[in-house]
Each structure stands twice: as structure tokens, then as C-alpha cells.
Structure 1
Amino acid sequence: MAMRKLIKSIVIMQLLLLLHTEELFSQQDPQFTNYMYNTIVINPAYAGSRDVLSILALYRAQWVGFDGAPVTASVSAHSPLDNSNLGWGISIINDEIGPSVEQTLSADFSYKITFSNLSKLAFGFKATANLLNVDYTKLSIYDPSDPLLQNNVDNRFTPNFGAGFYWYADDYYFGVSIPNFLETKFYDDNTRSSLAKSSMDYYIMGGYVFVLSDSLQFKPAFLAKVISGSPLQTDVTANFLFFEKLTLGGAYRINGAVSALAGFQLSNAVFLGYSYDTEASNLANYNSGSHEIFLRFELFKSQAKIYSPRFF
């Protein structure tokens, strides 16, 4: 009960912070509105937490109509290992922004501890391989005589690793993770000037499921992202689940976007989701919003696993 009260308090505090935060932020890693379904890409401790083989494919087109805007596609899978406290996961992300294309392959491993109140605490480790390509000829201001733009970046490889923990039960969850411990700088071979930099990000997440009736559940959730030298980025989401089939909700990203979310359980194994973001800043004048669609497929161990008050 103490843990449930703690998670509930954290969620409420995050909602209140929205009324008082004015800071702007910049995007570094791929951004997802449906982070509560795509948790494995940012927290390795999530691996195996759904007690089934869970496969998710997601596509995001951000700031549609804005030239060079981010387009992200990801595929992930994770599952517990039978008769053990271990879990595994794998994810592939392709992220395109302007002239750059970044591909990331990650392998995740987790170990969970079950407590007497049936809550579980999982610790996770992530190993990542990253490839970066930059084609300067795609820039509208491309100048072939510029010494900084003489050579494209081709398949620049960098390794990384991360870790996290995830505490969860049927009606709440809380997690902290650092997907990339190593700060990576990409350099031009000739000038040795920095072309891109990847810094350490900290993610804090939480959610609580309120059972309002036999046919209605309400889940507020949050995701906070801390980047060294940048303002705090926070997403707050509120989803309603009707008859364990239809999910409807909304989200707000501080000084970033307002979102509408929808999902439908097509069958016991298949869930389809969609979200639309409209910018809450001056950037709204230069694009027609962001679209995100995903499909989750799960192989259930037993009928008892099909329906659960936990929808995260």
C-alpha cells in the first residue's frame, strides 16, 4: 500500500508541475508520444514485464509538412525466460532528421525480484550499436566548396550501454533509466570538428491505474527526460480503457505538444494504437502536426494473462 501511495503522489505532483513550468527544450533522442507502450527502447528493465512475448512496431512522422522533420520507425520484442526471473529484449530504431539517418540496434536483459505483496522490482542492462550517416548534399544551403561539408558521414559506428530499474504491480509502475551512459561525439575526418554529439539522458517514468468500474479504468502517467545542459522535458498522459477493448486519452508535452490518443484491442493478441500531436508553440505555424501509429502483437501463455487491470 505504501508503494501505491508513493506512485499516486508522484503522478499527481507531475500533473501539478505542468501548471508552473515555462521552460523550452530541444529534442535529442527519438521522441515517442506512445512511450507507455514503447518502454523497452528507453528502459531495459521493462524486458519481460508483460509476462508474454510482446512484439511492437511503431512509425512516427513528426512535424508533417516541415522540410527535414524527424521520421522514426522502431521494432521491438521482449519476453521473460521460462522458469526464471530473467527477461530479454531487442529493439531496432531508424531515425531520420534532415540529412542524417541514424540506426540503432539494442539488446536488453533484465532480472526481477518478486515481493510478498506481488509487486516486482526489475533491474535491466542495455547494450547498443549505433550507425550514423549524414548526406550533406541534402542540405538546402549545401556549398561544395565548404571544407566542413566535403565528406559525408558513412556508417559511423559507436557502441554504448545503459541500465535501469522498473518497479511494477497490476495497478502501478515506476522506473528510472539511462539508455546511454557514454557521451558520443562524431567528428569530421579531415577537420576533426564536431558534427554531432550524443549526451547522457535520464528517464523517470510512472503511472497508476484507477479502476473506476467493471468496464472503465483510468490511467494517468508521466515521462520525464533530463538532459545535461537542457531544461527538463515532461510528458503527462491520461488514458481511459473502456470494456478492456477501447483506449481513449490525451497527452501534454510541456511547451511542446498537445496530443490525442486512441487504441483498440483487435483480438486477444493484437492491439492497434494511434496518436496525433499538435504543437503548443510557434512551430505550429510551420507544420500540420505529428502522427504516430503502432501495432502490438502478443503471444499469451494462458487465458489468465489475456485480461489484466494493468494496461502498460
Structure 2
Amino acid sequence: MKKVFILLIAGLLGSTSVVLAQQDAQYTQYMYNTQVVNPAYAGSRDALSFAGLYRSQWVGLDGAPKTATFSVNTPIRIKNVGLGLSFVRDEIGPSEETFINIDYSYTIQTSAFGKLAFGLKTGANMINIDYRKLNISDGGDIFENNINNRVKLQIGAGIFYYTDRFYAGLSVPNFLESQYFDENSLDNPDAYIVSERNHFYAITGYVFELSPDIKFKPALLGKLVTGAPLQVDVSANFLFNEKLTLGAAYRWSAALSAMVGFQISDSLMLGFAFDQETTELARYNNGSYEFFIRYEILKPERIFSPRFF
């Protein structure tokens, strides 16, 4: 049964020449990985901020997703402008997809405490599909030509409103729907193999100060893509003494998660998350693991105040 995932992919590919709506990667620690899906986040932390995340999903299942992200963002001397760079590498079954984007934000002060940022994301994604990785019992024309280094343009946008305690954002990382062809189907526009659909993200959270040493933050992430079910993640995190974060999350009809974070210093944070499936898929894997690291170069005059976002 370990090959059930690859067999499912092979079954889909063998039954039709069209595979629709490949989902973007998912993240349990999404509150720390916002820039990857929303360019308006760039510069919002008022520091030169580096962040990395690695996710191994459905451990023990052949062909299961593996995702690595890296991002860096900073405010710049031009007033109210933030710049960033984001990198995502996503592997699933026979496919490898790489995204490289430049993120730009412009922020306006809406009140004494609130800021509203508008963001643009532009770059490219490259996809490779190697059908030799599939366990195919009855191959056909679709399996004879791999997809090698196909590059497509990306253009996305987002908005992000935040205060010291509250945040909310809406974004579309890529407005352009890309279609990838095999070499024998270029004369048939209906015979594409992979179609990247628009993804719509909504994120929000609020920090409650339960005591001088304990803060509580519920958060929510919603993701919608045509041709796939609505994905909703809800989480609850507690911050103790501005050093230790403990939390839990639920991905609707999919998984339960546990999270822990350590603020090692004013500049360095480490995080870890574990997901346990709540579907039948739990019988065939050993859960999902996610590791997160953030390092920031703070402004000398900045008073350090840990944030969940």
C-alpha cells in the first residue's frame, strides 16, 4: 500500500490526458510563512527578516509531497515601501516545481495603530515531470515525453492589514493560469497535462494578553482553488514569557496538528509542527513534519516585541 499515492497519480494520468487544478503547497505554520502567499507582508516586521521552512508530508508514503521555502524581506529607505524575495520548491510524485518571486509592498498608516499594505508579486515557476518515477503497468503516449524545465510567468497581488495585535490579509499569488503540454500535444490545445489554477488566500489572527507572561492567539487560514475543496485551517497558539510558543491546529476534514516554537534570542526563532491525518490516508503514512527557522537583523532603536505573525 505504500505505492498507493503513485498509483493514484498513474491512474489519473492513464485515464485522461488532462490533470486539473494542482493545489499549491500547504503549511501548518502558515502564520510564520505569510510572505510566500501574500506579497503585502514584505517589510511589515520592520526588520531584515530571513525565514526558511521545510515540510515532509505523509511520511512513509511513496511520492508524498516535500516542500521547502525560503524568503527574505525588509523595509527600505523609500518611505512605506517593502521589498522581498521568495523561493518555493515543491515535489510530489513524478513532478518537481520551483517558484522564484520578487515581492513588493506599499504601506499606508490608516490610524494610530493600524497599517494597510498593498503588495505585488512577480517572477516565474518552472516544472519538471519525470514519468520514469511512476510505477506504470500499461503506459501510453502520455508517458513517453517528460516535461523538462517548462517556465511560466507569475503575477500575483495581495493586501495585508495589521496592528500590534491583529492582522488580516487577502491574496492571489498568481493570476495567470498555466497549462503544460507534452511534446506530442502542442497542436491540440485541449490535451494539456497539468493546469495551474488561481488560488485565493484569506488569513487572520488576533493576540489576546491573558496575563503579563501569557499571550493567546487564534488564527485562521482559508484557501480556495477552482476544482478542489475549500481548505480551512484554524489554530490556537499560546506564547509564554515571550520565549516559548505551544499550539494546536485543525485542517478541516483533513488533519490535527501540534506546534511548538522557541524564541532563542531577539533575532532567532525555531519552530516545529506535526500533523496527524484524520482521513483514511492515516492508515498509509506516519504523519507530516514541518520545521521552521527565522532570523532577523533588527533596527538598533527597535524595542523587541515577539509577534506570532
Matches within 5 A, 1:226-241: 226-241=224-239
Task: Say whether 1:218 aligns with 2:213.
Answer: no
Aligned to 1:74: 69
Cα distance in 2, alignment partners of residues 278 and 123 from structure 1: 35
Amino acid corresponding to residue 169 of structure 1 in structure 2: T
Amino acid corresponding to residue 169 of structure 2 in structure 1: G
Cα distance in 2, alignment partners of residues 117 and 222 from structure 1: 25
Q: 1:115: how far off? A: 2.3
Matches within 5 A, 1:73-92: 73-82=68-77, 84-92=79-87
Matches within 5 A, 1:135-150: 135-141=130-136, 146-150=140-144
Cα distance in 2, alignment partners of residues 155 and 230 from structure 1: 26
Q: 1:146: how far off? A: 1.9
Cα distance in 1, alignment partners of residues 304 and 62 from structure 2: 43
Aligned to 1:47: 42
Aligned equivalent of 2:292, options 256, 275, 294: 294
Aligned to 1:283: 281
Aligned to 2:163: 169
Asked if structure 1 preserves the Cα contact closer than 8 Å seen for 2:254 and 2:279, the reply is: yes
Cα distance in 1, alignment partners of residues 137 and 95 from structure 2: 14
Task: Say whether 1:98 aligns with 2:96.
Answer: no
Query: Aligned in 2, Cα 1:27/1:190: closer, same or farther, shift over 3 Å?
Result: closer
Q: 1:117: how far off? A: 2.3
Cα distance in 1, alignment partners of residues 93 and 228 from structure 2: 22
Amino acid corresponding to residue 232 of structure 1 in structure 2: L
Cα distance in 2, alignment partners of residues 271 and 305 from structure 1: 17
Q: Find the residue that maps to 1:305 and give its secondary structure.
A: coil
Q: 1:109: how far off? A: 0.2
Which moved further from structure 2: 213-222 or 223-232?
223-232
Q: Find the residue that maps to 1:283 and give its secondary structure.
A: helix
Q: Cα deviations across residues 18-60 of structure 1 (Å, max 9, x unaligned)?
A: xxxxxxxx97101111110000000000000000011011110
- For normalisation by structure 2, the TM-score amounts to 0.90
Cα distance in 2, alignment partners of residues 100 and 142 from structure 1: 19
Amino acid corresponding to residue 279 of structure 1 in structure 2: E
Q: Cα deviations across residues 46-83 of structure 1 (Å, max 9, x unaligned)?
A: 00000001101111000000110000111110111125
Q: 1:228: how far off? A: 1.7
Task: Say whether 1:117 aligns with 2:117.
Answer: no
Q: Cα deviations across residues 111-159 of structure 1 (Å, max 9, x unaligned)?
A: 000123220000000002011001100001165x621111111100100
Q: Find the residue that maps to 1:157 and give its secondary structure.
A: strand
Asked if structure 2 preserves the Cα contact closer than 8 Å seen for 1:148 and 1:191, the reply is: no
Cα distance in 2, alignment partners of residues 264 and 91 from structure 1: 23
Asked if structure 2 preserves the Cα contact closer than 8 Å seen for 1:262 and 1:274, the reply is: yes
Count of aligned pairs between the two proteins: 285
Aligned to 2:122: 127
Q: Find the residue that maps to 1:45 and give its secondary structure.
A: helix
- For normalisation by structure 1, the TM-score amounts to 0.89
Gaps of 5+ in 1: 1-25
Identity level (%):
51
Aligned to 1:311: 308
Task: Say whether 1:151 aligns with 2:145.
Answer: yes
Amino acid corresponding to residue 150 of structure 1 in structure 2: E
Q: Find the residue that maps to 1:36 and give its secondary structure.
A: helix
Query: Aligned in 2, Cα 1:302/1:194: closer, same or farther, shift over 3 Å?
Result: same
Cα distance in 2, alignment partners of residues 39 and 126 from structure 1: 13
Q: Find the residue that maps to 2:31 and give its secondary structure.
A: coil
Asked if structure 1 preserves the Cα contact closer than 8 Å seen for 2:40 and 2:120, the reply is: yes
Query: Aligned in 2, Cα 1:149/1:142: closer, same or farther, shift over 3 Å?
Result: farther
Q: Cα deviations across residues 233-277 of structure 1 (Å, max 9, x unaligned)?
A: 100010000000000000000011100000001111100000000
Cα distance in 2, alignment partners of residues 83 and 305 from structure 1: 22
Query: Aligned in 2, Cα 1:266/1:142: closer, same or farther, shift over 3 Å?
Result: farther
Query: Aligned in 2, Cα 1:27/1:303: closer, same or farther, shift over 3 Å?
Result: farther
Q: Find the residue that maps to 2:229 and give its secondary structure.
A: coil
Q: 1:229: how far off? A: 3.1
